[in-house]
Amino acid sequence: MKTQRRFAVIGGTIAIITVLAGMGIAEAFGPKLCCSPFFGPFGGGFHRCRGDGDMVGFVLKRLDSKVEKLNLTPDQKAKYDELRAQVKERMMAAKEDRMKFREALRAEMAKESPDVAALNAMMKQKIEHVSGVMQDGLDLFARFYSTLDEGQKQKVLAGFRKRMAAMDKCREERP
């Protein structure tokens, strides 16, 4: 019975980790594991991080390519540079947090009988942290969006609509 219970606890923990990985925490379990159906059209479907594992560079390069199409004014460019620096700083801090989280998770799982309550608390805390980080990201975007003129805002909205249509199409194709 103890063996079955242990497998159930480990299996449940792995299931929770898999769900968290799909929510964007995949990098916590290795820099090469960035493949998830949750990325959907927002990440181009299933994709892998570049071979060097530089997710920060990948995100910033993609962001730069999208913003380049907006033809920013010098003032807007200065605001964008501030936003870019904040995004880079936050992503580097998030990488450190993921490393600490991974080590704490591994340390608990390495025990003879892992404390499920402690694992549960760690997971809940991580989910709350990720939610806060995502809310901060939305605030950064809103501040940058407010600096755009109407034509630029329409380009951004057109991009969102295109992504939403792709996501809807993807959902319709599922059985």
Q: pLDDT digit string (tens) for 5-60?
A: 666 667 666 767 665 555 544 444 444 444 444 444 444 444 444 445 678 888 88
* pLDDT for the residue 20: 54
Q: Give the structural domain span for 48.
A: 2-173
Q: Which two tokens stand for residue 145?
A: 């969006």
Report the chain's terminal Cα–Cα distance, integer Å: 38
- The whole model's pTM is what? 0.59
Q: pLDDT digit string (tens) for 101-143?
A: 899 888 888 888 888 888 888 888 888 888 888 888 888 888 8
Number of domains in the chain: 1
Q: Which two tokens stand for residue 59?
A: 């995100």
CA–CA separation, 96 and 93 (whole Å): 5
CA–CA distance from 47 to each of 19, 33, 34, 84 (Å)?
17, 10, 7, 23
Q: pLDDT digit string (tens) for 134-146?
A: 888 888 888 888 8
For the chain, give the percent of residues with pLDDT over 90. Answer: 3
